[in-house]
Structure 1
Amino acid sequence: MKLLLVCVLLLGVLGVTVFRAFDTALTVRAYTVETGKVSAPVRLVLLTDLHSCDYGEGQRELLDLVEAQSPDAVLLGGDIVDDDERLPIENALTAARVLAERHPTYYVTGNHEFWTGDVDGVRARLSACGVTLLAGECAELEIRGQKVQVCGVDDPSAGEAEWHSQLDRVTQAVEGDAFSILLTHRPERVEDYEGRGFDLALAGHAHGGQWRLPGIVNGLLAPDQGLFPKYAGGRYDLGETTLIISRGLARESTRVPRIFNPPEVVVIDLMPCRDGGRESVN
């Protein structure tokens, strides 16, 4: 009898572990950034790597979760559209249209938008949804009397020379009195982001390393980083710039299932410094 109970218990634990490992239900991952450049809270939502995936009729699962966060702005960090014809662009456009109707929404390209072979068409359709496209430009948000500067660059698939030119342009446009954000698709190019004066850099692309062992392995494999990527997902200190990497929203678009790596909506709260000091992230 004792052996039977032990076996039942072990099977139960195994079942729960397997369920959790392959669970692809949306989750919210929250970060807090303290800064002397805001005097009242500002909430941002970062969405990356949707890959035209299906989140229910009218994308309600995703849109309802975003709306529940009450963001002041939504940032789309690339690969919102996929180049696989089995994944309809309408899924991405539906989400973008509703988000832009409700919130200021900004977008940069990822590699998959270029891989469609019609990146200009993708840009045009997203722009028609009311999304603000950023490709070497900065936009200024005023939220409760506070300035937040959102700057964005295309994916390097635009060409290395063009990518560096865009990065230089947004660097020159940084305003010191505004909280400045660099929206980019690629997380691994940290050496290019350091020392440019941005308070916050936001990226995706790595899909959280696809497979994770929380607390042990942050990610197994990521594009452009290979095995055990350093920048799979989470927050990283780049000197005066904090880098936050989303693990993304890709589900049915991935050839390999996500393990202990659920798709995520990233929430970033900009908060006034409690001690008047330098920015910090929790």
Structure 2
Amino acid sequence: MAAHPRKHRPPRAGRALLLAAILLAVFLWWDNTSLQVTEADPSFSDLPAGFDGCRIAVLSDLHSASFGPENETLFRTVAEQKPDYIFFLGDLEDQYRGRKPEYVTELADGLSAIAPTYYVTGNHEWAIGDVPELKETLTAHGVTVLSNQFVTLERNGDSVVLAGIDDPNGYADQKTPEELAAEIYAACGDPFWMLLAHRNNRFSSQYSKLGADLVFSGHAHGGLIRLPFTDGLFSHDWDLLPSHTAGLYEENGSCLFVTRGLGNSGATFRLFNRPEVAMVTLHRA
């Protein structure tokens, strides 16, 4: 009887490497597309009693990503948290993907149907251009755009001030954060006030010195890769071991909350750093 040649099989080590590569690819896909809800609970002695327990959904750095068809998963996840307000901190779009008017409309309609939604620009909106048109679209679909402006929020008979600034990539002659803070104090005395400002890396040097009780920022993408005992491994500019990339911080008597954000820009990816729907619940100390 003629001998049959044995079929070639990859060595065990090769099969193990192939399996490991497949598992890593699946994990990276999940790690970059599966929403994670996180909670933060800052306390303030001067928070008006009417805002004790106020829940704020903090979103940022979507970069034109979609979670579910027409972002249904994102909207459902936010709605399930029952926020009083939604703060969107910029980089709604991505400069490498360009302007998508229908995407902006879809997002504005979906979020504003859940809770009052407030928005400030990030650096990517200005890199794309046509920011006035973007702001008009958001406003027409129920989102309040804060362009170096402030408004009063009311809850349970009390009020606080909410301010928002355009990204520094905006117009060269735009109102400065310091000028906006001076306007708040001139108009409102010494209120409890919050600031929406896209760039986390300006908190120490500038935003913490404005007098705001609480600043909300994004921009850092959680440091891209999060390892134990680090505040993120890389900044958005690929600086090593950045600071102020996720969670709560305090400097100069001002508190900062940074969200890890939702999307990725260009060829970047997340590792141990899932897209975040951050819920900040205010407490009166």
- Aligned residue identity for 1:230: S
Residue 31 of structure 1: aligned partner: 40
Residue 84 of structure 1: aligned partner: 96
Distance 1:52 1:93, change over 3 A: farther
CA distance in 2, matches of 1:216, 1:18: 25
CA distance in 2, matches of 1:22, 1:98: 24
For residues 232-256 of structure 1, the C-alpha deviation after alignment (integer angstroms, 9 at most, x for no partner) is: 22211113211111110104x4412
Distance 1:55 1:22, change over 3 A: closer
Distance 1:66 1:117, change over 3 A: same
What does residue range 105-184 of structure 1 map to in structure 2 within 5 Å? 105-159=117-171, 161-162=173-174, 165-174=176-185, 175=188, 178-184=191-197
Of residues 187, 190, 201, the one that matches 1:188 is 201
For the residue of structure 1 that corresponds to 2:183, the secondary structure is: helix
Higher Cα radius of gyration: 2
CA contact (8 A) 2:121 2:167 kept: yes
TM-score (norm 1): 0.83
For residues 48-90 of structure 1, the C-alpha deviation after alignment (integer angstroms, 9 at most, x for no partner) is: 0011111112311111111011111111101012223467443
- Aligned residue identity for 1:93: T
**How far does residue 21 in structure 1 lie from its aligned partner after superposition?**
9.2
Identity %: 35
Q: Which deviates more, 131-140 or 228-237?
A: 228-237
CA contact (8 A) 1:50 1:92 kept: no
| Paired residue total | 261
For the residue of structure 2 that corresponds to 1:141, the secondary structure is: strand
- Aligned residue identity for 2:183: Q
Residue 280 of structure 1: aligned partner: none
Unaligned runs of 5+ in 1: 1-7, 274-282
- Aligned residue identity for 2:40: Y
Distance 1:171 1:96, change over 3 A: farther
Distance 1:228 1:106, change over 3 A: same
Determine whether 1:70 maps to 2:78: no
CA distance in 2, matches of 1:35, 1:130: 30
CA distance in 1, matches of 2:139, 2:126: 16
CA distance in 1, matches of 2:284, 2:103: 37
